[in-house]
Amino acid sequence: MVTPQAVQRLAERCRVRLPRDWDGNRAILEMRDAAWPHWRQMEWIGFYFQFLCQTHLPPILAMPGPKYGRVEFDGFCEVPWDIKAHAMNTSSHQVIVNDSAAIAAAIAEYGSVGLILALGEVVYNDETRTFQRWHEQVKGGKSQYELDRIQRGAWSRLRKVQFTLRQVSFIEITDRTLIRCGSFQSDFRNSNGRPRRAKVLLDLEKLDEENLYFVDFT
């Protein structure tokens, strides 16, 4: 199990080091210039938060964390931790975490796992998709994922262009939490027909005792 002292050390480092305002253009270029492997990803906010944590939280948080099969946790500080970002100005309060089997294995070994969750307000791309076209140009063209989407005729979501950090929460997940959680993509299949591995789905409105600590950036 994680101790309050470890969580408070992580929280204090976040309070001192993390920027409050994240601009998509600047964040992507910062990740690219640092050779961060995920700078091309469309959902840049979550990857940028991982990048910030890797830049500012070691040695308190060792990164990456332990691996269970093919699933690797983002960091380790007394227990394995995952790192996620979530928009507060949305109708959904559910967060997809890690592989269900990997989380269960980590809980069996360490008693719990942790989630470092950045919560903030997002601004979306304009109707002319200026940010999206800029990102594609910087990447050198459309990704294969985007080309496949166009071929399927699927709808293209507006990209997030800015993120204002309001809070970083430190959440502990135990066996008791898993019993109350749902799962995501448990009935989905990959393109080769194989079932996708289920992921834990947290409802933020139902987490009370799991919230260990939070840092307010408002």
If residue 42 lies in a helix (H) or strand (E), which one and from where to where?
Answer: none
Which tokens hold the place of 24? 């998509």
What CA–CA distances, in Å, run from 178 to 62, 115, 167, 190? 25, 13, 24, 25
Tell me what pLDDT residue 148 has: 54
By CB atoms closer than 10 A (0-12, 13-18, 19+), residue 34 is exposed
pTM (two decimals): 0.86
Tens digits of residue pLDDT in 158-169? 789 999 999 999
Given a cut of 80, whether residue 19 has pLDDT beyond it is: yes
Q: Comparing 53-67, 120-134, 189-203, which segment has the lowest mean pLDDT? A: 189-203
As a whole number of angstroms, the distance between CA 132 and CA 155 comes to 14
Mean pLDDT (the chain) is: 86
66: left (phi over 0), alpha (psi -120 to 50) or beta: beta
Given a cut of 50, whether residue 147 has pLDDT beyond it is: yes
Given a cut of 70, whether residue 192 has pLDDT beyond it is: no
Could you tell me what percent of the chain has a pLDDT over 90?
A: 58
pLDDT band for 185, please (50, 70, 90 cuts): very low
Given a cut of 80, whether residue 156 has pLDDT beyond it is: no
> What residues are paired with 182 via a beta bridge?
201
At residue 163, what is the residue type? F
Q: Decide which of 210 and 148 is more confident.
A: 210
